């Protein structure tokens, strides 16, 4: 993220030019917390009250931000994740001490692995009880140490404002991530003079934004001399809001672009240079290009194992250029020939001037010839039972690929990643690193609160939906226009698929029953639609879009449907498996 | 090749910082052989000396991960040839009758100091490199060590350059560390 935080280097004159300070306002810690969140420009926070934060909730009605009451704290934090990813701003969630705080942990880990800027405010027991196993006391700063970018325990009311200021700065700057601020109840109740600081930052925290020009030139030389280069686009491009710089760089260099799961949308997938997703469920031609390429330019991705497959077999013939804002990512998983440490946007702005205009036509033609034509033809057939790919493609077509789509985790997520044809990075919200089931609905709520102007679809499996279905109540209470596509195969589909392919069909604990989803939606006060035939898919999507408030569309699919291709766990990307009926022609293999 | 590295880590002196450093090393699967913490020459900064064994690239990764902790100001991996390391040990040794003079004589060989004496024991302090201390202790064992307290290592590099505040140092080829 480009973070020349304006507050960091604000000219001194501005601070001194302010009117001579009248008597400073003296406020309670609770009010200071609310005023600080307001000062950060936060429009919506997601939370759940409890004992230690009763003083904070006492101050919330007077705050400018809106508070959305969720039904479970984990979904508050994931709503904050959805909000952050849809808006690019910092998402905020609030929970009480003890169980409220521990319920945030999964979502903090999700934000940590996917570099999402959120700030979590937790209540803590009175300081006199800390360390004495007080009621609802847990050491949340200790517990969240490995899953936050940083965390704080605030001990004095006068420390609240500077701490929140620093927390927001840390969350959004450099490599973004979650920051937790733990505030004891007595600190909420005590008073202190309030002014929101204009500056923050620490000497020891200086993200590398502008890359070393020598490294940029080395990268450009490698790019200019490559014959079969590939660009691997990662989440860093989207976090840096550098889609335009990225497209200019890709178009000038003429290099084909492949995407990690979270990099999808870094450039329109319908762009002629876009090839689609790589890795475990990547397209055949994409993984073939990785095998063949002589240069891989990774921009803002961290070489996750689901993207690389077996490291020894990853891009075996390629020189590796790696652009990342986090120096610790360089060489962590994959040997790197040319490291470029810096913000993706800053690096692309420099790189574009150094690379030659090229088109790589014959290399691109070779890659296109490696497409799995059998599969693509099969996707045009519409069997009577709704085919998962047909559902995903219909959502993309009907919404003109302009809607925000959130997903849960599993088969439907991979079908979506393969066939939505994602146009905008900030409208593709999925749990990548942690693979958090239950993500789809709360992140859609957060996204809709952040971008009420955009249509929002949540694509969710029947398993994941049942993890967070309580948030239907939140969506109804907030009268949110979100559409929920539940892809129901009666199974925990991805695990079922692994048991099918790799465990000799020993189906263990994967058949899962569901409530009547239509009745469930109606019980919550939402609308429910069931689709059991292919010709009902498009009309149901159209109808859902026309109805106010949350709409749940249940698509009943074949329980045997699998995601293809699939790279077996621990194998190289070149060892991908195809559907028995969609095996590419012999001569292609 | 697995070898021992000496990491000097300057950190802001804040509550919980030791926990953050140790927790990071544990969760990233880096093994700490020895750790010492104390003040540095700069007010507000503590100096940690971590001895870790690992492949060069693993230790480099550990250094980069340490830099991600907000309180970490500077990490230096002191090369073995430049490192001067010291340990301190205090031992209570049985020293009765004729053995007493012998213990004192050996202590002198190791430039060790007598800190306390009782009719039956001597308390002795020795400082030096790991080998020096090991050798001293081997000699004391002959008389019977009643109690021992041994510090971890502290280290400093030769030459005039202090391992103080700055950006990434000796991490990788250094080429991507600082702008031109």
Domain spanning B3-80: CATH 3.30.70.260: yes
d(CA A101, CA A581): 49
Does A213-369 match A23-194 at the fold level? yes
Q: What is the pLDDT of residue B163?
A: 55
For the question of residue A357 being annotated catalytic, the response is: no
Q: What share of chain B is helix, strand, coil (3-state, %, to 5)?
A: 25, 40, 35
Best residue in A109, A112, A204, A214 for a mutation probing chain B (most B CBs within 10 Å): A204
B-chain CB neighbours of A146 within 8 Å are 23-24, 27
Number of helices (H), then strands (E), belonging to chain B: the values are 4, 9
Task: Specify the pairing of strand B72-78 against strand B3-12.
Answer: antiparallel
For the record, the structure tokens of B143 come out as 């008389």
Domain spanning A374-564: CATH 1.10.10.10: no
Nearest residue, CB atoms, A146 vs list B23, B60, B171: B23
Contacts (Cβ under 8 Å, ≥6 apart) of A384: A533, A534
Which of A371, A388, A389, A416 is closest to A275 using CA atoms?
A: A371
Residue contact A141–B16, C-beta within 8 A: yes
| Any B CB within 8 A of A210 CB | yes
For the record, the structure tokens of B2 come out as 């697995």
DSSP line for A52-71: GGHHHHHHGGGSSSEEEE-S
More confident residue, A544 or B27: A544
User: In this complex, how many residue pairs, one in chain A and one in chain B, have their CB atoms less than 8 Å apart?
Assistant: 64
Q: What is the pLDDT of residue A381?
A: 79
Please, what CATH class does the domain formed by A23-194 belong to? alpha beta
Structural contact between residues A484 and A462, judged by C-beta atoms closer than 8 angstroms: no
Structural contact between residues A366 and A416, judged by C-beta atoms closer than 8 angstroms: no
d(CA B144, CA A424): 75
User: Which CATH superfamily does the domain covering A213-369 fall into?
Assistant: TPP-binding domain (3.40.50.1220)
Q: What is the pLDDT of residue A203?
A: 81
Alpha helix (H) residue ranges in B17-142: 17-27, 56-67, 99-109, 130-141
Structural contact between residues B17 and B62, judged by C-beta atoms closer than 8 angstroms: no
| Any B CB within 8 A of A173 CB | no
d(CA A457, CA B112): 75
Structural contact between residues A411 and A494, judged by C-beta atoms closer than 8 angstroms: yes
Sheet strand arrangement including A428-429: A428-429, A404-407, A456-461, A482-488, A551-556, A527-531
Q: What is the pLDDT of residue B173?
A: 40
Structural contact between residues A39 and A112, judged by C-beta atoms closer than 8 angstroms: no
For the question of residue A449 being annotated catalytic, the response is: no
If 0-12 CB within 10 Å is exposed, 13-18 middle and 19+ buried, where does residue B161 land? exposed
Calculate how close chain A gets to B125, using CA atoms only, in Å: 37
pLDDT above 70 for B25: yes
- Residue identified by tokens 């000396």 is B49
Could you say which of A46, A72, A73, A437 is catalytic? Answer: A73
- For the segment B92-105, the average pLDDT, to the nearest whole number, is 95
Q: What is the pLDDT of residue A585?
A: 64
pLDDT by 10-residue block (mean), chain A, 589 residues = 44 43 85 98 98 98 98 98 98 98 98 98 97 96 97 98 98 97 98 96 87 96 98 98 98 98 98 97 96 98 95 96 96 95 97 97 96 84 87 97 98 97 97 98 98 98 98 98 98 97 97 98 98 97 98 96 94 91 65
B-chain CB neighbours of A327 within 8 Å are 64, 67, 168, 171-172, 176-177
**E-state strands within A443-533:** 456-461, 482-488, 527-531
112-171 of B, contacting A, C-beta below 8 A = 165, 167-168, 171
Could you say which of A40, A494, A497, A576 is catalytic? Answer: A494
A469: helix, coil or strand? coil
Q: Name the CA radius of gyration of chain A, rounded.
A: 25
A1: helix, coil or strand? coil
Question: pLDDT tens for residues B122-165?
Answer: 999 999 999 999 999 999 999 999 999 999 999 999 887 665 43
| Any B CB within 8 A of A331 CB | yes
Structural contact between residues A542 and A398, judged by C-beta atoms closer than 8 angstroms: yes
B-chain CB neighbours of A339 within 8 Å are 172, 175-176
C-alpha A195, offset from chain centre: 34
For the question of residue A136 being annotated catalytic, the response is: yes
- Residue identified by tokens 């879009």 is A545
Calculate how close chain B gets to A210, using CA atoms only, in Å: 7
HSE, side-chain direction, 13 A CA sphere, residue B142: 11
DSSP secondary structure code for residue A403 in this structure: S
Query: What residues does A122 pair with on adjacent strands?
Result: A95, A182
For the question of residue A494 being annotated catalytic, the response is: yes
Structural contact between residues A483 and A406, judged by C-beta atoms closer than 8 angstroms: no
Best residue in A327, A329, A330 for a mutation probing chain B (most B CBs within 10 Å): A327
| Any A CB within 8 A of B60 CB | yes
Nearest residue, CB atoms, A327 vs list B20, B165, B168: B168
Whole-Å CA distances, B147 to A81, A330, B123, B134, B171: 55, 47, 9, 15, 41
Residue contact B176–A326, C-beta within 8 A: no
Could you say which of A185, A319, A393, A448 is catalytic? Answer: A185
Helix axes A411-419, A493-502, angle to 10 degrees: 90
d(CA A548, CA A479): 8
HSE, side-chain direction, 13 A CA sphere, residue A281: 18
Nearest residue, CB atoms, B73 vs list A204, A212, A214: A204
Does B84-154 match B3-80 at the fold level? yes
Q: What is the pLDDT of residue A579?
A: 86
DSSP secondary structure code for residue A479 in this structure: T
Number of helices (H), then strands (E), belonging to chain A: the values are 25, 20
Q: Where exactly are the structural domains of chain B?
A: 3-80, 84-154
B-chain CB neighbours of A215 within 8 Å are 175-176
CATH number of B84-154: 3.30.70.1150
Q: What angle do CA A402, A406, A411 make, to 5 degrees?
A: 115
For the question of residue A73 being annotated catalytic, the response is: yes
Residue contact A331–B68, C-beta within 8 A: no
DSSP line for A251-290: HHHT--EEE-TTTTTSS-TTSTTEEEE-STT--HHHHHHH
Q: Where exactly are the structural domains of chain A?
A: 23-194, 213-369, 374-564
């Amino acid at each position: 993220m480009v973070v020349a935080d304006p507050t960091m280097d604000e000219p001194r004159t501005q601070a001194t030019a302010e009117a001579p300070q009248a008597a400073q306002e003296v406020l309670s810690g609770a009010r200071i917390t609310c005023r600080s969140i307001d000062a950060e420009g936060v429009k919506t926070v997601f939370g759940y009250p409890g004992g230690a934060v009763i003083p904070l909730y006492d101050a919330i009605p007077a705050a400018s931000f809106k508070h959305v009451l969720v039904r479970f704290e984990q979904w508050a934090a994931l709503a904050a994740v959805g909000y952050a990813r849809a808006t690019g701003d910092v998402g905020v969630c609030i929970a009480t001490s003890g169980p409220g705080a521990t319920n945030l942990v999964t979502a903090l880990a999700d934000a940590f692995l996917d570099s999402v800027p959120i700030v979590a405010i937790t209540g803590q027991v009175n300081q006199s009880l800390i360390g004495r196993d007080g009621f609802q006391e847990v050491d949340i700063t200790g517990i969240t140490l490995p899953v936050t970018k940083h965390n704080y325990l605030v001990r004095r009311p006068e420390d609240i404002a500077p701490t929140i200021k620093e927390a927001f700065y840390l969350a959004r700057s450099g490599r973004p991530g979650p920051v937790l601020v733990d505030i004891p109840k007595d600190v909420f109740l005590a008073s202190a003079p309030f002014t929101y600081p204009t500056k923050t930052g620490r000497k020891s925290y200086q993200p590398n934004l502008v890359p070393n020009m020598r490294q940029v030139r080395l990268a450009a030389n490698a790019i200019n001399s490559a014959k079969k280069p590939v660009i691997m686009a990662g989440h860093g491009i989207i976090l840096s809001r550098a889609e335009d710089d990225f497209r200019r760089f890709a178009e000038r260099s003429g290099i084909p672009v492949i995407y990690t799961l979270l990099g999808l949308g870094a450039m329109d997938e319908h762009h002629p240079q876009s090839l689609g997703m790589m890795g475990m469920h990547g397209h055949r031609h994409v993984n073939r290009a990785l095998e063949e390429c002589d240069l891989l330019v990774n921009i803002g991705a961290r070489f996750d194992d689901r993207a690389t497959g077996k490291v020894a077999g990853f891009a075996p013939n390629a020189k590796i250029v790696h652009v990342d804002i986090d120096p610790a990512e360089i060489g962590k998983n994959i040997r790197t020939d040319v490291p470029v440490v810096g913000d993706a946007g800053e690096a692309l702005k420099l790189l574009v001037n150094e690379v030659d205009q090229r088109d790589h036509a014959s290399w691109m033609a070779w890659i296109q010839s490696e497409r799995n034509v059998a599969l693509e033809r099969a996707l045009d057939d519409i069997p009577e039972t709704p085919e998962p790919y047909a559902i995903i493609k219909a959502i993309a077509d009907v919404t003109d690929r302009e809607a925000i789509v959130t997903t849960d985790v599993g088969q439907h997520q991979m079908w979506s990643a393969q066939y939505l044809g994602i146009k905008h990075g900030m409208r593709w919200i999925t749990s990548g690193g942690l693979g958090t089931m239950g993500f789809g609905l709360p992140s859609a709520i957060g996204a809709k609160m952040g971008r009420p102007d955009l249509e929002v679809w949540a694509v969710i499996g029947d398993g994941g939906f049942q993890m967070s279905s309580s948030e239907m109540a939140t969506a109804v209470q907030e009268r949110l226009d979100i559409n929920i596509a539940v892809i129901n195969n009666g199974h925990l589909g991805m695990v079922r698929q692994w048991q099918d392919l790799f465990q000799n069909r020993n189906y263990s604990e994967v058949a899962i029953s569901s409530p009547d989803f239509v009745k469930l939606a109606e019980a919550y006060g939402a609308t429910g639609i069931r689709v059991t035939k292919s010709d009902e898919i498009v009309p149901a999507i159209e109808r859902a879009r026309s109805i106010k408030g949350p709409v749940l569309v249940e698509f009943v699919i074949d329980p045997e449907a699998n995601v293809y291709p699939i790279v077996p766990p621990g194998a190289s990307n070149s060892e991908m498996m195809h559907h028995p009926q969609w095996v590419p022609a012999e001569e292609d293999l | 090749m697995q070898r021992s590295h000496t990491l000097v880590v300057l950190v802001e002196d804040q509550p919980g910082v030791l926990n953050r450093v140790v927790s990071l090393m544990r969760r990233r699967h880096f093994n700490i052989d020895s750790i010492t913490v104390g003040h540095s020459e700069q007010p507000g900064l503590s100096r940690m000396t971590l001895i870790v064994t690992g492949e060069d690239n693993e230790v480099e990764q550990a250094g980069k991960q340490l830099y991600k902790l907000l309180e970490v100001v500077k990490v230096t991996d002191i090369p073995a040839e430049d490192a001067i390391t010291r340990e301190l040990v205090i031992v209570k040794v049985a020293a009765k009758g004729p053995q007493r003079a012998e213990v004192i004589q050996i202590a002198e060989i190791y430039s060790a100091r007598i800190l306390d004496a009782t009719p039956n024991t001597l308390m002795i302090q020795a400082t030096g490199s790991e080998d020096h201390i090991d050798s001293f202790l081997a000699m004391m064992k002959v008389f019977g060590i009643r109690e021992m307290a041994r510090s971890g290592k502290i280290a400093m590099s030769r030459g005039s350059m202090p391992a103080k505040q700055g950006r990434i140092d000796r991490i990788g080829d250094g080429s991507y560390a600082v702008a031109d």
